[in-house]
Amino acid sequence: MRISEMSVPGAWVFSPTVHGDDRGCFAETFRASEFEKVTGRPFDLLQVNTSVSAAGVLRGIHYTDDPPGQAKYVTCVRGAFLDVVIDLRAGSPTFGRWDSVLLDDRDRRSVFISEGLGHAVLSLADDSTLTYLCSLEYSPEYDHDLDAFDPDLAIDWPAAGRDGQRLTYLRSPKDAAAPRLRDR
């Protein structure tokens, strides 16, 4: 497995070796010892979530008060997503910086998102499916949202999906009403 830190400190991309044959494929997408060696910490799993999205569904930007913070290990098991990580840690030299990675069912990459970072995903194909391993159980009193189209963040959302078709963005009412970074 290749592991590389993103330009937002505290976020890493895990790129497994995918072994394929006429039966299908196999990829080891998480190994605790490798994770701990690179991140310098264990991953305490407390909740697992799965989401299925049509092409154009944009979820986020979501983040959790830190402390307690919620770390996530996100893997695409079907389809494709643009996964975006945003530094929301007060006093961080990279506050407001974002980075992205393609998560799909071909390369089988995963992304680890540390506490204090914001997270958003854009589905690039119908029926795209993500699995989130979470270090904190859902706690609505700690959860917050930011506007994914905040011009101060200037996230470069793609206009076309995996098949080249133009995307029509679809957000939840809660995500569409989320404040800008400067108003949080």
The catalytic site residues sit at 62, 132
Q: Is 166 annotated as a binding residue?
A: yes
Q: Is 101 annotated as a binding residue?
A: no
Q: Is 165 annotated as a binding residue?
A: no
Sheet holding 80-87, edge to edge: 98-104, 80-87, 117-123, 58-64, 143-145
Strand partners, 120: 60, 84
Q: What amino acid is encoded at 178 in this protein?
A: A
Question: Integer distance in angstroms from the first to the last C-alpha of the chain?
Answer: 37
Q: Is 175 annotated as a binding residue?
A: no
| 25 sits in which H/E element | strand 24-27
Q: Is 47 annotated as a binding residue?
A: yes
Q: Is 49 annotated as a binding residue?
A: yes
Binding site residues for substrate, as ranges?
23, 28, 47-49, 59, 72, 119, 143, 166
